[in-house]
Structure 1
Amino acid sequence: MKRSMFISAIALAVASANIHAQESAPYENWVGGFVQHYGADSEKPEPMGYLDDGSTFGAELGFRFDPQWAVRFELSRIFLDMQGPNRPGNGDDGTMLGADLMFFMEDDAAYLFSGLREQSIRESYRMLSYGIGKHWEATEKVRVITELAGYRDFGQGYNEYSVKLGLAYIFGDTNTTPVRKDTDNDGVYDAVDRCPSTPVGVQVDATGCNIDTDADGVLNTADQCPNTPAGTKVGVNGCAIKDADNDGVLDANDSCPNTAAGTVVNAKGCAVNLDKDADGVLDSKDKCLDTPMTDKVDSEGCSVLVEKEVSIALDVLFGNNSSEIENPESAKILEFVDFMKRYGNTNAVIEGHTSAVGRAAYNEALSQKRAESVRQMFIDKYGIEASRLTAVGYGETQLKDTSNTAEAHRINRRIEVKVSTKVKTTATR
């Protein structure tokens, strides 16, 4: 009963395959023979468990009704060794009938399959089959079959395996163009494309590779330097044309091949005698090409520096009994800020002074507070480094006007900023 149901299932699968083959475009069908190494479950049959590995030979018939799908039927003869003290003889044999549904991967790289097996070795066993294999093309009509399969018994849970090697003959209409993929759309199918990621629009050869790999305008077939860096000037052989001093004149035509960088040259690559800043030093030797017209220069065209003494005094006014600055953006303050930024190595002492009105101790504290207020203004408002500024309060000890008048008091309420240093400045012509 079981065997008849199994044969009926196979017949139904054959009929289905034929229908699909008639309705769809024809693909490869095959008939083949094979041998297998068969690994039997060591516990089979229970309770004696005497079967061991063996071999099989058989035949198969396949119908491919779609680029990816096929059905296959097998009939094989099994010869198994025996092991253990309960073995009844030197071996056992039987038959196995099977049917599989097969899925072929892209470009027929391999196929996966699963199906049913009806095995008869003294007893009948119905098993699930599954595995992976590949058809290797030997000729237009012949394929080499390689396959690894596993089997799971439905009834008693036996697990077995086989390794197959066989030959298949292709029959039927095989002229149908197979499905071919061209991932990078360069006109060369992936199966033969050695460069499957070529950018869109790039011209390629028969192998799908760029015909000018380094994009220097020289085709690979004639390019003796196929990896020239982008932007390099090349000759007809695709190799770099050298310009050692980068003056725009190729070495082959350069009469002065060691011209300094930035030098204006003529057609022969030699320096043109120019003096752009009119300082008396030709541009080819001038290391300071933009010297001001008023500066005296040395033999290299750079300004000559001399040292001189510089001193600035600055008055800052405050209200009575106040450390708030009345004129934070006066011309004198801005002049001092410019000086400090121009001469970055100078330091300044900010001196605070008050009028003679009030107690001396109070005036000294007020003058210190005023000096510190000015120092902080220069730091916060004008960005002068704190380390360059020092604040000192003198109170009423250094009056500018000793008369006891309102005007004298106003003048005495002041800040004097003193800076004195030697700075370098340019000599004039």
Structure 2
Amino acid sequence: MLKKALIASAVTAAFSLQPALAQEAPANDKWIAGFAQYYNADSSKPDPAGYFDDGHGYGGEFGFRFEPEWAVRVEVARQKIDVDPFRTSGSEEEGNSFGLDMLYFLENDAAYLFGGLRHQALEQSYRAAAAGVGKHWNLSERWKVVTEATWFHDFGQGYNDFGVKLGLAYYFGDSVSTPQRDGDADGDGVLDSRDQCSNTPMGTSVDATGCNNDSDADGVVNSVDQCPNTPRGTAVDSQGCALVKDSDNDGVANSIDACPNTPATDKVDAKGCTVFAEHQVSVVLDVLFANDSAVVTDPRDAKIVEFAEFMNRYDHTDATIEGHSSAVGDADYNMDLSQRRAQSFVDVLVNTYGINRSRLSAVGYGETQLLDERNVAEAHRVNRRIHAKVVAQVKEKETR
């Protein structure tokens, strides 16, 4: 379990990416490195003296990065592999390992993947394919910590070994490092690394941070524009304010201002008039009735008051009062009862709250629109009702 945990930890470390340290290396970089190695041999791998266990080693490597993503390296290591003493005599095998790998570096050197060949010369010789993952962690411009985890597969007997290593690399070459690739995605002339407004429309005048430096397009940059909302096309002075008089300071000159006394808080259109936004408001009411009754028992109920106040406030609205009954009794009688209930509520709105009768209509539905179809007392109670809904369109000022 300890061996597996060590290997897993190395793999995790190789992928524990820290963008703050990420730096892309160019082509023609070279490095040399020394490293220490932990090696876990396949427990079924035989040796003349017994069966291999785990071991350790040390070595060096030389790498050459011929493209930003691609590199090759050679590796030489001295290894000591333990031999299981419980199967036969002996304690360890010592020998050399030689390797050749191709490396592929992920974006911004987040990590690298590699594959290659190994020749292991112990008491016997073994040849294997190698594959793994690693990362070079920046200590400085030239010095880097090397972490790596490797899987080995023997060509002859199919043994699977594992290894991890920790080392220190020194970089040299035509150039050691370059900044990450930079571009200008929105085409405003400011590189992405400095562009604080990365989606500026093409052709927009921008400042050094890539942001629109003249929001109202009057030819005066924002930093000195004392009238930043001047309507497009208005002639302005050096401070960005209209050359002609603007008495209500809404950004529209008096000569074209159709609403010359607009409040300072109002948003205005090109003619200097307040801009209104329209939205919908509504009120819904349900009133229950006693069995076989069309009497509104509490005309001053808070819900009825709210409904009436809504209709009085929005006096351009109309309402249809829908009457309903339970399913108990004769259907024709229930239809008449529901109509009387609707009409009774209309009379309350007219007589108690002063709503014009022409705005109200009463329709009885009898037992055709039951809320609860069960044949129980609670169902009958909620079905004895009137229902009404009023919707109004409201305009409200938009503010600056």
Provide the TM-score with structure 2 as the length reference: 0.44
Higher relative contact order (CA 8 A, sep 6+): 2
Higher gyration radius (CA): 1
